[in-house]
Amino acid sequence: MRITGTLQVEVWRQADGESEGGFETHTVTGVSPETTVLELLDLLNEQMPEGMEPISYDDGCREGICGKCGVTVDGVAHGPQLNRASCQQQVAAFTDGERVRIEPLRAAAFPVKKDLSVDKKAALRTVVKAAGGPVGMKALTEAGCISCGACVAACPNGSGQLFVGSLLTELPPLAKDDDDRRTRSGKVLDAAEESFGPCSTLGDCTEVCPAGLPLENLSAVAREHLRRRRGSADG
Ligand code: SF4
Ligand code: FES
């Protein structure tokens, strides 16, 4: 494993959602092979020239569990290491030893709040709420989804199908009966359509998902669409 030592970090700066953003380059020293992306940002802030504002970024458990973190590293949501949250991505595994580019998760549904920090909760919550808050949350927990939003950012269409499909995969046993299932899943499908783009089953989502959720979960979306159509035909 290479000792990186010093990195040139190109980092996205944006004062708020209304302002135009751009990259700023900083030299960061004291980087070790085990340094994670969030630790690199910590170092950057510690070494920020006097008078300059520290970088804002989303932070949480740093154990790949809470889903709060998430940045784009060298063009890949969370970072180039497969199926790892940004807090678990180690810099030495993917940098060329000289340069790394860090920007926010990029998705139309995730507006930038400041610098690297985005609002991903609003869009994701709309879908969870549509399933009936606690039931939606339980379904996601059962599926193993940590609501990090990387699948949306990785998708060229900004589709949230891996997230939505994972929720719908676990929804049926949580519904009271068939009608309840159809109502809840119908609302989820509507909310997803409103918040996210269409799915082209490219599979980029599965490469970034820290929970390693499979592409097969997408089939739950098609299945619930079909059930809804059949339900209205029967009704
Ligand atoms: S499906 Fe995977 S990538 Fe998408 S929000 Fe859930 S954990 Fe994150
Ligand atoms: S900070 Fe919790 S998953 Fe990364």
- The pLDDT value recorded for residue 3 is 55
Closest C-alpha to ligand 2, atom 3? 64
- The pLDDT value recorded for residue 144 is 98
| Mean pLDDT within 90-108 | 89
- The pLDDT value recorded for residue 232 is 64
Closest C-alpha to ligand 1, atom 3? 209
Which residue, among 145, 229, 155, has the nearest Cα to 199 in the 3D structure?
Answer: 155
User: Is 132 within 8 Å of 181 (Cβ atoms)?
Assistant: no
* Spatial separation of the C-alpha atoms in residues 209 and 152, rounded to whole Å: 10
39 Cβ below 6 A of ligand 2? no
Please state, as a whole number, how many other Cβ atoms lie within 10 Å of the Cβ of residue 184. 24
Q: Which ligand is nearest to the CA of 36?
A: 2
74 has a pLDDT exceeding 60: yes
- The pLDDT value recorded for residue 96 is 74
Instruction: Specify the pTM.
Output: 0.94
- The pLDDT value recorded for residue 235 is 40
SS3 179: helix
| Mean pLDDT within 160-178 | 97
* Spatial separation of the C-alpha atoms in residues 86 and 73, rounded to whole Å: 8
Instruction: Give me the chain's average pLDDT, please.
Output: 94
Kindly give the distance from the C-alpha atom of residue 8 to the centroid of ligand 2, in angstroms, as a whole number. 24
